[in-house]
Amino acid sequence: MSRFKNKIALITGGASGIGKATAQRMSDEGATVILWDVSDDRGQETQASMTAKGRKALYQHVDTTNKVRIGEAVSEVIAQYGRIDILINNAGITKDATLLKMTDEQWEQVINVNLTGVYNCTRAIAPIMAEQQYGRIINASSVVGLFGNFGQTNYAATKAGLIGMTHTWAKELGRKGITVNAVAPGFIATEMVRLMPPEVLAGMEAKVPARRLGAPEEVAALYCFLASDEASYINGAVIRIDGGIAL
């Protein structure tokens, strides 16, 4: 399968979890994958796992809150590959606390990475896509951004903000050959989630009509569909992938 032959795909938070699963699938389908992350060990390991299979991958240490580093990394990619076709804004963090206990630092850290970081990356790469008259931008929102969640004022605010940004960019960039969509996952069994106590995982599963957690590979499949030419008329959509938890 080569849906992404000759395509350059850049994935933030690409060293682990959903980002890693997406990178692996896209590389399997022909893409050259650029991994942005701040975990060098994981990033280099993910790159090595793909290149060992004959896939094309490049890891770059990039903090999405650092506009200078983003500019440098983008310049490196363009110098080497000449274009960027796909941007998956997947990087994100949590710093949970109820409103009455949340610190300003917890608020600012999550806003800086999850919201401003997405703006920084898209602002740097959208002009390249506009010049190409082609691009796919996919933002990682969450069902929390649609419905809120106890103890996640900061996280919910960022994920709701991404939905507003997605709608706005879809209107602004659609005429330039760029589609912009958002994915809103529910409970996904990433490496971090699997480390939770069994009773907590069981409680999470019980809340989902599908009676299980989602797999990173399932979210990756949705990312890949939206990034493909098969989805060329999908623009400004927010697609839930949550096993029905939001019903």
Per domain, the residue ranges of the chain are 8-240
Number of H helices and E strands in the chain, helices first, is: 10, 7
The pLDDT value recorded for residue 142 is: 95
In sequence order, which residues have a C-beta less than 8 Å from that of residue 60 and are 6 or more positions away?
Answer: 34, 35, 36, 43, 73, 76, 77
The pLDDT value recorded for residue 77 is: 98
Decide the pairing of beta strands 8-12 and 178-185. unpaired
The reply to whether 155 belongs to the active site is yes
Decide the pairing of beta strands 135-140 and 86-89. parallel
Tell me the fold of 8-240.
Answer: Rossmann fold (3.40.50)
Residue of 59, 134, 155, 223 marked catalytic:
155
The pLDDT value recorded for residue 2 is: 87
CA distance 138 to 86: 8
Give me the tens of pLDDT residue by residue for the chain, a chain 247 residues long.
Answer: 689 999 999 999 999 999 999 999 999 999 999 999 999 999 999 999 999 999 999 999 999 999 999 999 999 999 999 999 999 999 999 999 999 999 999 999 999 999 999 999 999 999 999 999 999 999 999 999 999 999 999 999 999 999 999 999 999 999 999 999 999 999 998 876 777 788 878 888 898 999 999 999 999 999 999 999 999 999 999 999 999 998 8
The pLDDT value recorded for residue 1 is: 63
- CB-CB contact of 66 with 119 (8 Å): no
